[in-house]
Amino acid sequence: MQQRKLGPFTVSAIGLGCMNVSMGYGPRIADDEAGRLFNAALDQGYSFLDTASLYGLGHNESLIGKYLKSRRDEYVLASKCGFSRTEDGKTVMDGRPEVLMQTCEDSLRRLDTEVIDLYYLHRIDPKVPVEESVGALARMVQQGKVRTIGLSEICNDSLRRAHAVHPITAVQSEYSLWTRTPEQKILATCAELGIGFVPFSPLARQFLTGKSPDVTQVDENDIRATIARPRFEPENFAKNSQLLIPFGAIAEREGCSMAQLALAWLLAQGDSIVPIPGTRHADRMIENAGAAAIELSPATVEELDALINEDTVAGYRYTDALMKSTDSEKDWPR
Ligand SMILES: NC(=O)c1ccc[n+]([C@@H]2O[C@H](COP(=O)([O-])OP(=O)(O)OC[C@H]3O[C@@H](n4cnc5c(N)ncnc54)[C@H](OP(=O)(O)O)[C@@H]3O)[C@@H](O)[C@H]2O)c1
């Protein structure tokens, strides 16, 4: 697969979002099936894997440790701390340094590795200054437990404050044709400071593949029925689906699938952008990798920009409460 630079690392232009085998969109798959998918992804040329302590409450990291330990030098490993879930399913942000240090120890044990290449603060904890949380991540670097630091769903001001404490290697936030928050400020700051950008949910939570159901057809724990519900509500979904007709026609014209078109558009936004689509299916993992070879003309990029964007899409990406409490959304108060 084509390669990109992400801080000190050279990685495949498309990375693998590993979360999906443990949680998020439909049932978890069997462990050995996930192991086969991960190994097939490395065989396919993926060399950037994304996980988090949150995903399956350690299950996802343990799968990587179990099934990919013997191939550890073949991939850049990214994980995350600072975001967890209580027994009753409530998510909690905890950015206290001592908690992050302990989570790092737990991640290392589950991943069965001596060092994590890129360790993100998953969410800013509003009760803890970002300098303190990033200070803990900087200590992990000094101790050789982590190679580089990242931040997820962070606003511009928080990024600059964090970068003053310790150089940041990558920002990971939601970015796709239908979620444009990063275009407000953070992409420019990343370019200015030499920070890579990793778009999560690059397929718009399956919407841009043309295969997503609406909220009435998914499990109650599916992300599309919980935090990302608004755009999948039947009325919004029906309106948004109209956009997929011309989008599908462009994909056909470009000789690629809709998933590949969505990823190729992201790759065209900058050289330090590395999307991480997630899937539980080997054929889709291979299809997504194919996007790295697609080069869109500036005219096509512009056409896509105008077709699907936050003005043409109905509904916000998150529920109202989450829109208000997510740090990255401070860059675009709505
Ligand atoms: N930092 C954060 O806060 C954060 C938040 C969310 C996600 N992430 C990371 O980002 C990764 C990707 O994000 P995401 O999973 O939320 O969204 P996504 O990659 O935009 O979409 C995932 C959905 O698309 C489907 N899919 C994948 N490839 C497909 C294809 N070629 N054709 C049709 N359907 C396809 C998957 O279903 P199947 O499994 O059935 O294929 C799943 O329903 C995650 O794995 C995780 O590592 C990070």
Q: For residue 223, what pLDDT is reported? A: 97
Measured in Å, residue 319 CA sits from the centre of ligand 1 at 19
Average pLDDT over residues 251-277: 98
By the 10 Å C-beta count (0-12 exposed, 13-18 middle, 19+ buried), 3 is classed as middle
pLDDT interval class at 90 (50, 70, 90): confident
For residue range 17-33, what is the model confidence (pLDDT) as tens digits? 999 999 999 999 999 99
C-alpha 76/C-alpha 51 separation (Å) is 11
3-state secondary structure 62-113: HHHHHHHHHHHHHCEEEEEECEEECCCCCEEECCCHHHHHHHHHHHHHHHCC
Question: Taking a C-beta distance cutoff of 8 angstroms, is the pair 145, 138 a contact?
Answer: no
C-alpha 83/C-alpha 186 separation (Å) is 22
Average pLDDT over residues 9-14: 98
Parallel, antiparallel or unpaired: strands 91-93 and 83-85: antiparallel
Q: Which structure tokens are listed for 314?
A: 């109905």
Residue 173 Cα: closest atom of ligand 1: 1
| pLDDT beyond 80 at 257 | yes
| pLDDT beyond 80 at 89 | no
pLDDT interval class at 86 (50, 70, 90): confident
Contact residues of ligand 1, CB 6 A cut-off = 17-20, 24-26, 50, 152-153, 172, 200-206, 209, 211, 259, 276-281, 284, 287-288
Average pLDDT over residues 47-53: 98
| pLDDT beyond 90 at 91 | no
| Average of per-residue pLDDT values in the chain | 97
For residue range 129-179, what is the model confidence (pLDDT) as tens digits? 999 999 999 999 999 999 999 999 999 999 999 999 999 999 999 999 999
C-alpha 24/C-alpha 212 separation (Å) is 13
Which mutation among 221, 222, 281 tests ligand 1's pocket best, with the greatest number of atoms within 8 A of CB?
281
Average pLDDT over residues 185-191: 98
C-alpha 179/C-alpha 201 separation (Å) is 9
For residue range 154-164, what is the model confidence (pLDDT) as tens digits? 999 999 999 99
Residue 172 Cα: closest atom of ligand 1: 1
Q: Which structure tokens are listed for 268?
A: 């065209």
* Phi, psi dihedrals of residue 221, rounded to the nearest 5°: -95, -5
Measured in Å, residue 20 CA sits from the centre of ligand 1 at 6
**Cα separation values, 299 from 291, 296, 302, Å:** 18, 8, 5
For residue range 54-83, what is the model confidence (pLDDT) as tens digits? 999 999 999 999 999 999 999 999 999 999
> For the CA atoms of 6, 332, 134, 223, what is the dihedral angle to 10 degrees?
-80
C-alpha 130/C-alpha 127 separation (Å) is 9
C-alpha 189/C-alpha 175 separation (Å) is 15
Which mutation among 14, 16, 18, 25 tests ligand 1's pocket best, with the greatest number of atoms within 8 A of CB?
25
Closest to 292 measured CA to CA, from 13, 15, 49: 13
Question: Closest residue (by CA) to atom 1 of ligand 1?
Answer: 152
C-alpha 31/C-alpha 14 separation (Å) is 23
C-alpha 225/C-alpha 212 separation (Å) is 12
**Vertex 163, ends 161 and 164: CA angle to 5°?**
65
Average pLDDT over residues 101-128: 98
Question: Taking a C-beta distance cutoff of 8 angstroms, is the pair 74, 124 a contact?
Answer: no
Question: Taking a C-beta distance cutoff of 8 angstroms, is the pair 38, 70 a contact?
Answer: no
Average pLDDT over residues 283-312: 98
Tokens 């990587």 sit at which residue? 64
- Residue 150 forms beta bridges with which residues? 120, 170
**Vertex 234, ends 233 and 239: CA angle to 5°?**
100
Q: For residue 242, what pLDDT is reported? A: 98
- Helices 234-242, 244-254: axis angle to 10 degrees equals 40
Domains and CATH numbers, the chain: 3-331 (3.20.20.100)
**Cα separation values, 22 from 73, 82, 145, 158, Å:** 24, 19, 25, 30
